[in-house]
Structure 1
Amino acid sequence: MKPADEERIAARLAKLMAMICVRNTGIEELHAGTVPVTHTGDYSDVFITDADGRQIPWSDASHLDDDQMRNLMRQIVDRLYTFHLKADDAGFRDHLDRWLAVAERWDEPKLDEASLATIAGGEAKPPR
């Protein structure tokens, strides 16, 4: 297979997997809600007041706790697992084809240089 064909297929698959396996998961709950107003554009002027009265800069605040992160990752892993196991199922592929039209309107993916650097450097750091 030609490299251009491999890249085209990989791009379509990446966008489709993101659409099917990541969108409409718990990430949508994180996206929902009121977006704070920022006049600086970088949210350095936005603070969160916690229950103890601490003023926490928006950029320093965790936006999800460990349980939320764990649940989100479980949901995404389960969807990726389902995607791979059902890839040959005709009904599932029909479902994918319907969503592909939406996913193909997204920006084209690019190589993630940070990921490549981590792989090359052997700096695998497990998350906390």
Structure 2
Amino acid sequence: MNRGDEKRIAVRMAKTLAMMCVRNTGLETLHAGVVPITHTGDYSDVRVIDADGREIAWNDVSHLDNDQMRALMKEIVNRLYTFNISIDDQEFRDRVDRWARIADRWDEPDPDLEFFRKLAEED
């Protein structure tokens, strides 16, 4: 297989996995709700007041707690696992093909140049 075919397959797989295994998870709950208005464009002018009356800059606020992060990651891992163990099932592959056609409309991915650096730091 040539490099162009490998790239085309990798692009389609990345978008399909994101569509089927990451989108429509707990991320949707995080995305739901009222989006604050920012006049600066970077949310540095937005503040949150917590139950103790502390004023916290929007950019410093954690938008999910450890339990929410754990639940989100478990949901995504479960979906990726289910995807991987189901890929030999023809009915499932037909569904993957339908979702892939939708994901094909998404923007093309870019290589994440920080990916390997961050992994190396965590070793």
TM-score normalised to the size of structure 1? 0.93
Aligned position for 2:10 = 10
Q: Which amino acid aligns with 1:108?
A: E
RMSD: 1.0
Identity, % of aligned positions: 60
Q: Which amino acid aligns with 2:97?
A: D
**Structure 2: unaligned runs, 5 residues or longer:** none
Aligned position for 1:123 = 121
Offset at residue 36 of structure 1 (A): 0.3
Aligned equivalents of 1:96, 1:7: Cα separation in 2: 19
Structure 1, residues 8-33: CA drift from partner, whole Å, max 9, x if none?
00000000000000000000000000
The answer to which of 46-55 and 92-101 deviates more is 92-101
Aligned position for 1:99 = 99
In the alignment, does 2:60 pair up with 1:65? no
Offset at residue 116 of structure 1 (A): 2.4
TM-score normalised to the size of structure 2? 0.96
**Structure 1: unaligned runs, 5 residues or longer:** none
Q: Which amino acid aligns with 2:122?
A: A
Residue aligned with 2:108, SS = coil
Structure 1, residues 20-55: CA drift from partner, whole Å, max 9, x if none?
000000000000000000011000110000000000
